[in-house]
Amino acid sequence: MRARTFLKPHHVARAVFHPAWIPQPLDPSIERLKRFRVIAGAVASIGVYTVLEGGFDVTELLENALTASAVLLLLTPLTVGVMLFVWRRTGTVRRLRAPLLDSLKLLLLFIGCVVALVLLVQTTSGSGSMLVTLGGGLTMMWMIVFVISGAVRVSGNFFGTAAVHRCLPALLATVTSWLMAIPDLVTGDLHGLGLTMGVVFVLGAPVTVTAIALAEAGRLKRRYGIRLGAHPAGPPPVPGPVPPVPPAGLPHVPPQGNPYAPHPRHPYVPGAGGNPYAPGTGGNPYAGSPQPPSHPQRPHGLHGG
């Protein structure tokens, strides 16, 4: 990154929260499903009911962000631990240590940025100095764009857990969205929306995330043979279907020989059937025949005398 890159927080977020070690998607269709999953996850995190209650509340948004960060910090390692126990039945998990540590670092980095943003907002709001308010406000705006862009990135790759297993991001997104919605259903806290609207908006996001995650996992299984319960150290997935190799030669044309291939017997090789002008059998056809005189004699005189 250059110095000018830091003036664009979304570019910094892309470099920080989507590093090069995160594998690329296998095909564009799965990437589109991830984008839909990110949108549904954003709806679950921000909460449509917050807007419908009577305005967009920044304080409640920050509280939801802190709650989501705490849930991620506790739930992500627990879910990954359960899957490691499942994968141990078919292979060793020691080779997964490096991608797991990278994903954990990315998770801690994102949670640290969220906590730093919340502290910055509280400090700027409680300060009575104009200079602190101005500087903190500019920094806060930069941090808000940075954290939101980073949230979009980590929601798509889910902290790079695709480097551990291709199906792991879809699983983590499903578990997280349901865990964020279940407390509201259990406590009956529908945020003043009424029973019907509250259930729709509380369950809408996790149901949508689950449907998209199942479609993503099903496509990975059908096209590439990747299953969630299978050990990730199995055969590597192919990048895509290999097109069939066309048959040799032009279509509807019978196979033809090479017109420049050597003849099985050269017609001018000496011997039988060889050069017709070579001496011997099958040689010069004019050999042995009477030759005409080279200098015919002229008669002496007019009457041959």
Coil, strand or helix: which one is 107? helix
| CA of residue 172 relative to chain centroid, distance | 18
- Average model confidence (pLDDT) across the chain: 75
Measured CA to CA, the distance from residue 303 to residue 299 in angstroms comes to: 8
195-216 average pLDDT score: 80
Q: Which amino acid type is present at position 85?
A: F
Nearest-CA neighbor of 107 among 158, 146, 144, 176?
158
- The token pair that represents 195 in the structure block: 């029973």
Measured CA to CA, the distance from residue 9 to residue 121 in angstroms comes to: 17
The yes-or-no verdict on residue 263 having pLDDT over 60 is no
Highest mean pLDDT among 59-68, 98-107, 170-179, 209-218: 98-107
- The token pair that represents 164 in the structure block: 């551990």
Per-residue pLDDT tens for 268-303? 555 445 555 555 545 455 555 455 555 555 554 444
> What sign does the dihedral 76-82-84-86 (CA atoms) show?
negative
Measured CA to CA, the distance from residue 66 to residue 42 in angstroms comes to: 14
Coil, strand or helix: which one is 24? coil
Measured CA to CA, the distance from residue 95 to residue 101 in angstroms comes to: 11
* Domain definitions of the chain by residue range: 29-224
